C-alpha cells in the first residue's frame, strides 16, 4: 500500500505562471489567483517540485513524479485532460 501526499499550489503572483507536468512535458498556464490540487500516491519517493523561469523570465513550476502516480487537478478536473481537450478543439480565427 502506497503513501499519499496532497497539497495545493496557489498563484499569488501578480502575473500568470506556467505549470509543467512531467514526465509528459505538458504546460498549463495558472493565472493570478488560480490554484491546483496535487495528489501524489507513492511508495518511497514523493513528488518533487522545481521552481524555474523561462528564457523571458516567466515563472515555471515543474511537477515531477517520484515512484508513484501524481494527479494535478484544477476545479476538480485533471489538468492533463484539460490540455488534451484544448488540443482537440479547433482554434477559431477572426476573418
Would you say residue 51 has pLDDT above 80? yes
Task: Calculate mean pLDDT across residues 70-93.
Answer: 80
- 15: cell is 502575473
Provide the mean pLDDT of the chain.
Answer: 90
Give 4-50 pLDDT, tens digit per residue.
999 999 999 999 999 999 988 899 999 999 999 999 999 999 999 99
Whole-model pTM: value is 0.84
- 12: cell is 499569488
For residue 95, name the pLDDT band (cuts at 50, 70, 90): very low
Give the Cα separation of 31 and 16 in Å (integer). Answer: 4
Amino acid at each position: 500500500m502506497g503513501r499519499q501526499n496532497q497539497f495545493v499550489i496557489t498563484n499569488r503572483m501578480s502575473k500568470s505562471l506556467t505549470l509543467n507536468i512531467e514526465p509528459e512535458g505538458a504546460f498549463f498556464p495558472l493565472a493570478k489567483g488560480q490554484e491546483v490540487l496535487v495528489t501524489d500516491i507513492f511508495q518511497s519517493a514523493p513528488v518533487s517540485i522545481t521552481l524555474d523561469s523561462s528564457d523571458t523570465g516567466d515563472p515555471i513550476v515543474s511537477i515531477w513524479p517520484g515512484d508513484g502516480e501524481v494527479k494535478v487537478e484544477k476545479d476538480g478536473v485533471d489538468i492533463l485532460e484539460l490540455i488534451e481537450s484544448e488540443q482537440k478543439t479547433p482554434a477559431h480565427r477572426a476573418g
